Amino acid sequence: MYAERLFSERMKTMRPSEIRELLKLTQNPEIISFAGGLPNPKAFPVDELVEITREVLEKHGKVALQYGPTEGIRSFREVLASRCAKEGMDVTSENVVITTGSQQGLDMIGRVFLDPGDTIIVELPTYLGAINAFRAYEVNFEGIPLDEDGMKIDLLEEKIEELKKKGITPKFIYVVPTFQNPAGVVMSESRRRKLIDIANEHDLIVIEDDPYGKLIYEGKPAKPLKALDDEGRVIYISTFSKILAPGFRLAWIVASEELIRKLAIAKQALDLCSNTFVQFVAKEFIEGGYLDLHIMKIIEMYRPKRDKMIEAIKNYFPSDTIFYKPRGGMFAWVTIPGNIDTEEMFLDAIKEKVAYIHGKAFYVDGGGANSMRLNFSYSSEELIDEGMRRLGKVIEKKLKEAK
Ligand SMILES: Cc1ncc(COP(=O)(O)O)c(C=O)c1O
């Protein structure tokens, strides 16, 4: 019924999220899925939330069920600001805007900063949802490879100089510095400092997306870039999706007051305000001390899953497979040997009833063909072992065929 000519130019450049499309295939309950970035539903604190929900309705029902301010409920923003301040960020509630998931936050940032033809810098690989959010604003992507210590900052400097020679100043640098999606790596402190220096020197903005920073299985918490930022150049985004429940669709952005005002204008057009009711519930959950306990609980639940997945890579994948042991987060990132295209291999994997996300989905330059992202938070340890055994078989078969 709809003729192509009716669609906007923007819509023509937008593609369905490959992850969402692939997840449809993995709905079959027989498939062991390492594809989604899903928290383990067994951990959801249902009983505590039943109680808190009742209390919120009894105590605050008339406000909690009403529209709220676009920036979010003031007392909730205060709670979040004080948590961020404990991590070294110089913030008050005026520096916080609540968003409907951090995915909306990324879109708001796109609305505020991006014009068609602008250039932005991302990691290679990077979060697919960010590529999709920013692509809608018809931008050019420049990618900087990462290694075990995060984005290669020397290459970033070179890229900025190279762009400068062409008369291009990038609008911002988007990074997931802590337990990166998909690569699982953490940007080292020296690279974090260098990144801030570069942003200061070249008058750039840095978007720090941090959904996984609290899911630490080993080592000390990394200092957020926002805590190193003296000039108000870092826009920090975090979410309740991975530390509580993605169904809440609740996240927040921390930025300078000037930027928060702009972001709020962008948000007004999107949804007027985020879900007021869940803001109250999340506030009570934090203030009752449940959130910190919950994070401790999921860390204990996910660490052995991570260990099982790493053990299974060693047991079932070719010996020259390249991988890092992630010290936190939800993903293992694996590069298999040979000329195997993991996108092509996906349907073979589905036939064996196991799923992952192929590497190319996370690259803005067409790279990543022989890599894959494997989620370890969602499945049981038993299923991780079985799924990885199946995947190992699929890879072995593909390698033999390629010979
Ligand atoms: C790096 C990153 N940013 C943002 C999101 C979006 O999270 P949400 O919209 O659920 O807050 C995700 C989800 O997987 C993510 O991995």
**38 and 185 share one domain:** no
User: Which amino acid residue places its CA nearest to atom 13 of ligand 1?
Assistant: 37
Cα(208)–Cα(229) distance, integer angstroms: 11
206 within 8 A of 173, measured Cβ to Cβ: yes
Residues 220 and 298 in one domain: no
Nearest atom of ligand 1 to the alpha carbon of 105:
9
Same domain, 181 and 220: yes
Closest ligand 1 atom to 180 CA: 1
Does residue 178 have its Cβ closer than 6 Å to ligand 1? Answer: no
DSSP 317-384: S-TT-EE---SBSSEEEEE-STT--HHHHHHHHHHTTEE-EEGGGG-SSS--TTEEEEE-SSS-HHHH
pLDDT for the residue 72? 98
Structural domain total, the chain? 2
Closest residue by Cα to atom 14, ligand 1, is 37
Whether residues 267 and 177 share a domain: the answer is: yes
By C-alpha distance, which of 108, 86, 331, 328 is closest to 207? 108
Whether the CB of 181 sits within 6 Å of ligand 1: yes
CATH number where 258 lies: 3.40.640.10
Residues 222 and 298 in one domain: no
Spans of the chain, pLDDT less than 70: 1-2, 17-21
Q: Does residue 37 share a domain with residue 104?
A: no
Same domain, 74 and 150: yes
Please check whether residue 214 is in contact with residue 243, taking contact to mean a CB–CB distance below 8 angstroms: yes
In whole angstroms, give the CA distance from residue 225 to residue 204. Answer: 14
CB 54 within 8 A of CB 196: no
Query: Hey, which of 108, 131, 174, 209 would you mutate to test ligand 1's pocket, going by the most ligand atoms within 8 Å of its Cβ?
Result: 209
178 and 75 together in one domain: yes
Distance 260 CA to ligand 1 centre (A): 20
Domain boundary among 259, 290, 321: 290
- Contact partners, residue 101, CB within 8 Å, separation at least 6: 239, 241, 246, 249, 250, 251
Task: Select from 291, 370, 279 the least CA-distant residue to 44.
Answer: 291
Sheet containing 322-323: which strands, arranged edge to edge? 322-323, 331-335, 371-375, 357-358
Asked if the bond preceding 29 is cis, omega within 30° of 0, the reply is no
Q: Note whether 90 and 145 are same-domain residues.
A: yes
Helix (H) or strand (E) run with residue 257 in it: helix 257-271
Last residue of a domain, one of 290, 312, 336: 290
Residues 243 and 385 in one domain: no
DSSP 110: H
Mark whether 280 and 345 lie in a shared domain: no
Host domain of residue 312? 4-44+292-402
Q: Is residue 193 domain-shared with residue 52, that is, in the same domain?
A: yes
Domain closes at, from 267, 290, 313 = 290
Question: What CATH number is associated with residue 342?
Answer: 3.90.1150.10
- With a 6 Å cutoff on the Cβ, whether 209 touches ligand 1 is yes
